[in-house]
Structure 1
Amino acid sequence: MATVDSVFSVADGVTAMSEIAQTSGVDLLKKFGSAVSVAGDAVKPFLPLIAVVTVTITEIIRIYDTAQHNKRMCGAMHDRVIMAQAAIKLLERRQKENEEKFKQQNYYDAFLKFVALLKKIRDFLQDVSQLKGFKKFKEASAVEIMFTKLASDFDSTMSLLHFAVAISTEDQQKLDREAVTKDLEDIKNYLDNIAGGITTMDHKISSVLEEISIIKDKVAANKSVDKLSSTYEIPPEDLNDPFDPRANDSRDKDITRKLYKFQEVAVKKLALPDKKTDDGLKVAKELTILKSLQEGQRIIKFYGTSVVDGTPVMVFEWAEKGSLKDYYSVTKPVDFPWELKLKLALDICRGIAFLHETRYLHHDIRCQNVLLTDDFVAKLANFKLSRGFNDKSTAIKIFDHLPWLAPEKLRVLGREDKERVPYTQKCEIYSYGMLLWELGHQRIPYKGMTPNQIEAHVLADKRESFQWDLGQLQQGYTKIIRDAWQGEPRLRPTISELFLELNKLQKKHFPDARTPNFKPATPPAVEISALSLDTPVLGDTYKNAGDSPHRKSVSLNLPSCDLPPEFEFELFVPVEEIISLDEGITAHRTNDKEKAWKCFEAHAKLDNPQAIYWKGYYLWEGYVVAKDRKKAAELFKKAADDGIADAQLRYAFCMVNSEGIKFDKELFMHYLILSADNGNPSARYNLADVYLNGKLGIPKNEQEGVRYLRLAALKDQPKARDMLRALKEKGVDVGDLNDL
């Protein structure tokens, strides 16, 4: 049976995650049980907290390892929690020496603060490490402020716990500020240049990334093939033969050029399994996800499925010049200038970046799977093997993919499933590095070598040679490739870092290169006077929003350790245990409001922002205690300023619905927007209503209104769905409603 020490001994967190994250609270406590006889009764209340700390630190390590953005910030926090992990190991090993600490109530309370702080650090890193989460920070300064506060809180908590951890010195704080500044500069540069559907015309993060994430989750949980199929079926009569037959109208026997709504499309034969089988459901889900990716402007657009001459087909955007491999195979090097190669490399990078921002992996990055439009825009194609970040890979014909396969995948070829390593974005980075080599040299890597020779060559940490004159441009391009195909996955850059390097190379050598510029159509004006600003109710406001009575917790819900009966000769009074916040929310959900109130009040005293919000909610409604809406509003504001989406919405509406609280339009909009961008569906619906109808004297903004309305509808906000349908009937472009 594992002890506390055996769990903490996992240095990189990978094994701990697989062992602990899938273990129930009761089982975790059993794992820690062997430590009780050593530690004595005093340490018992700390065991559930240590278990939660272990899982949370493991999650922070995983977030750092997979971070797509702000790697320096993530690294600074990662290093802090690793020090804390070492301090806890020392605390556990020296239980006898620390027994007096375990008997003190203030030490127990400090440990609770530590648990809550680690969760805040985890959530912050999760947000800043991916664009979808980073979007909630309206200004870059908000990221810096939050980072600084978390770092400061970490130092003070370490002092409270008397952990032997070096507190940030002035030099360390300077390094932290430099890391934050550099990260924010990089992400601004990235957003200013990436385009490709990741950003809007004004370089803001597109809400499409979040839409795809929500659709992905809904599709994963959907058991109805018919409902999924309805989102991509195209009537056969909508597909017509082109007016101008051309020699390349048919490709590879399975692809034919057609017209769909006066656009050139490619119809490709589809082997569609029976809808009633698991394979049928799998294909239906994959096609639905593929359709959701059509907003990626460097991904070949998928329109849907249809039937041509009795044969099921997929309908894609037509790429006049075919695959990049076919193009470079027939193009002489002198006719394929470096300016075009860099442009295509950036196009492909944008496509991969879009996939990674939506947490998808292509699984087959090579020039064969890149298509070229008539005006030389490169787009990713062939998503047959594509999967989500955490989905299981599909078996492939190794010979076709071997030259682009990452060494960590080569190393485990032929082993049992349990011994295989997962395909990650770092594998994709390696493949992209090989593609860059292939594009630069205009030939398949390792040409003429057998599969066994390629495997031995790569696993010996050898790569392809470079056969070009090393001018400044080629030197930069070579360095990018070498960074991407490093043998150690953790040393490979992220796709955003590769993009910034390629973009810098293009600007330096081809400053006049065209920058992608996409301008979406502006929908017509609309008036819906009947819709009104709704005051949220509990069941509406908090559905799918954070820790709420209407959402099952995904956190470990660890039961408290029951201390043995007290005896007269005991030398200490046990600390007063506090149930976890999750247990308090469960108590609220089961109408045990006395228990819930005690939990919320206790955690609020420890400055837990979620508990502060719940305490405010109880004061607002008068549950257990007398109503005090002025105090409740103060608590809502405090929790709102600490990033709690529910509190942000509640505080906004305090100004609308409360006597004695002055209405401030700018403050109302500030907190309503914060809550909406923080994911609250009701905030999104109400904000959309404001924008669409110009309420409160706010100028109408139909584009923003529709955007927030779609996000609310995707989170199953019923009024948002109704409003979208009403808008569509009036001729407003509200996008595809099949997924809502």
Structure 2
Amino acid sequence: MSLIYEEVQNIKSMISKSEINETKRIDSNKLTEPVVGRQSDTRGFRGRTKRRIYMNAIEVACRAINIPEEDSPDYKITQRFLAICIKATQSPNIIQFYGLSIIDGATVMVLEWAELGSLRELYKENKIPLIPLKLKLSYALDICRGVAYLNALNIYHHDLKCSNVMVTERNVAKLTNFYFSRGKDHTSTSMAGRIEDGRWLAPEKLIDPKYRYDHKCEIFSFGMLLWELTFERKPYEDMELEDILDHVISGEREKIQFENSLALPDSSDAKIQKGFEEIIKEAWNQDPNIRISITKLLIQLDDLSKKYVKPGCSPGLEPQEIANFDIPSNSLNDKGDEIPDDVDFSNIDVDFEPLIPISEGVKAYKEKNHEKAWKCFNEQAENQNSLGKYWKAFYLWGGLFNQKDKLAALALYKEAADDGITDAQYRYAFALLDKDIKSKIQTTEAHNFK
């Protein structure tokens, strides 16, 4: 219980109290120029983003940033922006923020390098001519996971569109650009000078710029982003901005019209198209209360992915084959550390039962032998095996063998996530959205407050 309370408090303090001075500072000597340069090494407006190599191993993007003086009105905005970057970077579907550095006298953010650039660049510059629908589905699920993670932290991105989604060399989509992002209880960003963003904004926000941006606004913007990704163009591309405002406020939307030549009626592409259409319409409903929830949105995209994307192409929310986990290979090493040749075992009398390997536990789970599976995962978790923690949490959350214990499961998901288990990171974010968990966290907060 105290672990969950501390985690929630840490999240809140990161967003509300973090100081720029607490942001990690990176020595510029650790950021070297690439040995082999590429044309894409310089990006963005006026070339503000440059590729560098961090610690002689990691490709990073060094993006110029202006840090205001402490007495400046913009200082707190930049503070909050950096605090959000620090916390959000724990998700595998959000561009990682390493810290700040100074290069040639200019302050730069050191960020994860995304080789393929933004989603908008992908479709606009034909880096991938007519992005395959299955790949779009994979991108959409990645983006939704990033949004769900932010939602679990009570953070709203505020600027969802394809230009704010980066794509890595391995075709993983990741959210970026958190300058307009805010915590749930913080004042919304002014729309002054952001008229162009009206293409993705919810009607309630267009009607009243002072309307407090909420998760329903975020869902609407996701729907517009998904439309943009699906049809590979900006929403309302041929309309004047004033006409767009009238169009959206009156309840009108972009057309959802697929080319008949793209898919046969019974093909997987046609079914993905139908799934996208349903999700988009549910997301951009004129009535905010009727819009799809982030939980349902995530489930629908995940279901589509499971049906039509080959295993391994995009990680899912359900447990996968062991080979599909993105973890260090030694996590599955049943041999353990090598024993020196000169150890004498002749006088050692030990009677013990060896641990069941994780792979056998997973096999038992698939065969519905939950007693054996639980024994394996429970013992492996007690021995601090990251996958053991993940699977034990999975069993506790669903009550597959013993009684359900969501709080214990949440704590184990958090530990496994911190150990780098990708699926645990998704499930931890997803679990924080659970009504029972939220209620118990609130009860804990109230108790601790007393």
- Deviations along 1:528-577, whole A, 9 cap, x unmatched? xxxxxxxxxxxxxxxxxxxxxxxxxxxxxxxxxxxxxxxxxxxxxxxxxx
Q: Which residue of 2 aligns with 1:422?
A: 212
Q: 1:212 to 1:431 in 2, by over 3 A?
A: farther
SS at structure 1 position matched to 2:117: coil
Select the structure that is richer in helix: 1
User: Take 1:210 and 1:346, find their aligned partners in 2: how far apart are those partners?
Assistant: 29
- Deviations along 1:486-523, whole A, 9 cap, x unmatched? 01111111112112111222222335462423326879
Higher relative contact order, chain-length normalized (CA < 8 Å, sep 6+): 2
- Deviations along 1:608-642, whole A, 9 cap, x unmatched? xxxxxxxxxxxxxxxxxxxxxxxxxxxxxxxxxxx
TM-score of the superposed pair, with normalisation by structure 1: 0.41
Displacement of 1:474: 1.3
2:124–2:233 Cα contact (<8 Å) kept: yes
Q: Which residue of 2 aligns with 1:498?
A: 297
Q: Which residue of 2 aligns with 1:104?
A: none
- Deviations along 1:628-658, whole A, 9 cap, x unmatched? xxxxxxxxxxxxxxxxxxxxxxxxxxxxxxx
SS at structure 2 position matched to 1:447: coil
Q: Which residue of 2 aligns with 1:463?
A: 253
2:275 alignment partner, one of 472, 476, 480 = 476
1:266–1:315 Cα contact (<8 Å) kept: yes
User: Take 2:81 and 2:162, find their aligned partners in 1: how far apart are those partners?
Assistant: 22
Matched, 1:258 2:258: no
Matched, 1:439 2:229: yes
SS at structure 2 position matched to 1:248: helix
- Deviations along 1:656-707, whole A, 9 cap, x unmatched? xxxxxxxxxxxxxx9xx9998899xxxx9xxx9xxxxxxxxxxxxx979xxx
Displacement of 1:214: 2.6
Displacement of 1:229: 1.5
SS at structure 1 position matched to 2:24: coil
Gaps of 5+ in 2: 316-324, 338-401, 421-450
Matched, 1:485 2:277: no
1:284 alignment partner, one of 61, 68, 79 = 79
Displacement of 1:212: 6.3
User: Take 1:499 and 1:276, find their aligned partners in 2: how far apart are those partners?
Assistant: 42
Q: 1:242 to 1:385 in 2, by over 3 A?
A: same
- Deviations along 1:570-629, whole A, 9 cap, x unmatched? xxxxxxxxxxxxxxxxxxxxxxxxxxxxxxxxxxxxxxxxxxxxxxxxxxxxxxxxxxxx
2:196–2:241 Cα contact (<8 Å) kept: no
Q: Which residue of 2 aligns with 1:167?
A: none
User: Take 1:255 and 1:332, find their aligned partners in 2: how far apart are those partners?
Assistant: 19
Q: Which residue of 2 aligns with 1:304?
A: 99
Q: Which residue of 2 aligns with 1:229?
A: 21
Displacement of 1:278: 5.1
SS at structure 1 position matched to 2:169: coil
- Deviations along 1:388-437, whole A, 9 cap, x unmatched? 11111111333221110001101114xxxxxx321001101000001111
1:409–1:421 Cα contact (<8 Å) kept: yes
User: Take 2:162 and 2:99, find their aligned partners in 1: how far apart are those partners?
Assistant: 24
User: Take 2:224 and 2:273, find their aligned partners in 1: how far apart are those partners?
Assistant: 15
SS at structure 2 position matched to 1:295: coil
Q: Matches of residues 80-119 of structure 1 in structure 2 within 5 Å?
A: none
1:410–1:455 Cα contact (<8 Å) kept: yes
1:366 alignment partner, one of 156, 161, 177 = 161
User: Take 1:344 and 1:703, find their aligned partners in 2: how far apart are those partners?
Assistant: 25
Q: What amino acid is the match of 2:50? A: T
Matched, 1:404 2:200: yes
- Deviations along 1:453-507, whole A, 9 cap, x unmatched? 1111111111111221373331221011100000111111111211211122222
1:212–1:292 Cα contact (<8 Å) kept: no
User: Take 2:84 and 2:174, find their aligned partners in 1: how far apart are those partners?
Assistant: 17
Matched, 1:509 2:308: yes
Q: Matches of residues 81-160 of structure 1 in structure 2 within 5 Å?
A: none
2:23–2:100 Cα contact (<8 Å) kept: no
1:343 alignment partner, one of 114, 119, 138 = 138
2:327 alignment partner, one of 519, 528, 532 = 519
User: Take 1:399 and 1:212, find their aligned partners in 2: how far apart are those partners?
Assistant: 37
User: Take 2:329 and 2:78, find their aligned partners in 1: how far apart are those partners?
Assistant: 32
Displacement of 1:452: 1.3
Q: What amino acid is the match of 1:255? A: T
How many correspondences in the alignment? Answer: 324
Displacement of 1:217: 2.6
2:123–2:130 Cα contact (<8 Å) kept: no
User: Take 1:278 and 1:216, find their aligned partners in 2: how far apart are those partners?
Assistant: 24
1:229–1:288 Cα contact (<8 Å) kept: no
2:70 alignment partner, one of 275, 279, 289 = 275
User: Take 2:116 and 2:64, find their aligned partners in 1: how far apart are those partners?
Assistant: 20
Q: What amino acid is the match of 2:327? A: K
SS at structure 2 position matched to 1:336: coil
Displacement of 1:219: 3.9
2:120–2:162 Cα contact (<8 Å) kept: yes
Q: 1:354 to 1:250 in 2, by over 3 A?
A: same
User: Take 1:221 and 1:486, find their aligned partners in 2: how far apart are those partners?
Assistant: 32
Q: 1:521 to 1:231 in 2, by over 3 A?
A: farther
> What RMSD in Å do the two structures reach over aligned CA positions?
3.2
User: Take 2:142 and 2:407, find their aligned partners in 1: how far apart are those partners?
Assistant: 34
Q: Which residue of 1 aligns with 2:110?
A: 315
Q: 1:508 to 1:677 in 2, by over 3 A?
A: closer
Q: Which residue of 2 aligns with 1:573?
A: none
SS at structure 2 position matched to 1:482: helix
SS at structure 2 position matched to 1:331: coil
